[in-house]
Amino acid sequence: KTISAVNSMSYEDFISTFGNVIEQCSLCAAAVWGDRPFSDVNSLHKSFCQFADQLSIGGKEGILRLLPDLAGRLAMSGGLSKESTKEQQSAGLNTLTEQEKQNMHHLNQQYKQKFGFPFVICARENKKEAILTGLENRLKNSGETEAVTGVEEVKKICRLRLLDIVDSSSKL
């Protein structure tokens, strides 16, 4: 879509188009619609980032809780959104060995136990080795650090999902 097509969308169309650029957070899209007109995809992304940034830590944790685990039960059962399915496949998470699956599951459980929200990383920017290393390293961080770090990853996921929808060359 061109950015001018985006700018002339009703909020219903905008929400149905962008409601999952932040996983299961159609509220973000519903709020961002009010910032139109957007000059290009970067300013649209900036609005999503600003919405996420102004959330309390609790709100940031809420966004993270809506993301599915990497190589989790939902992924194994084919229950992911189409976006998450594509992203997790691109990181090679659908070709894990039994040992890697066990390891990932154990670390994900430990992470959730400690922080109360899942480990989140932009899967399209990382292969499975980097994901496992990130999970091991970030487990040592504080809850506040991880809430912020996780949202930074959500912003990266959001940008790539926006680029799948909006022509990056189109400008107002």
Give the nearest distance from C-beta 161 to ligand 2AL in angstroms: 9
Between 24 and 42, name the residue whose CB sits nearer to ligand 2AL: 24
Give min distance, CB of 63 to ligand 2AL, in A.
Answer: 11
Residue 69 or 146: the one with the smaller Cβ distance to ligand 2AL is 69
Minimum separation from the CB atom of position 156 to ligand 2AL (A): 8
Per-residue HEC secondary structure of the chain comes to CCHHHHHCCCHHHHHHHHCCCCCCCHHHHHHHHHHCCCCCHHHHHHHHHHHHHCCCHHHHHHHHHCCCCCCCHHHHCCCCCHHHHHHHHHCCHHHCCHHHHHHHHHHHHHHHHHHCCCCCCCHHHCCHHHHHHHHHHHCCCCHHHHHHHHHHHHHHHHHHHHHCCCCCCCCC
Comparison of 4 and 95: residue with beta carbon closer to ligand 2AL: 95
Applying CB under 6 A, the residues found at the interface with ligand 2AL are: 67-70, 84, 87-88, 118-124, 157
Minimal distance in Å, beta carbon 82 to ligand 2AL? 11
Q: Is 3 or 70 the residue whose CB approaches ligand 2AL more closely?
A: 70
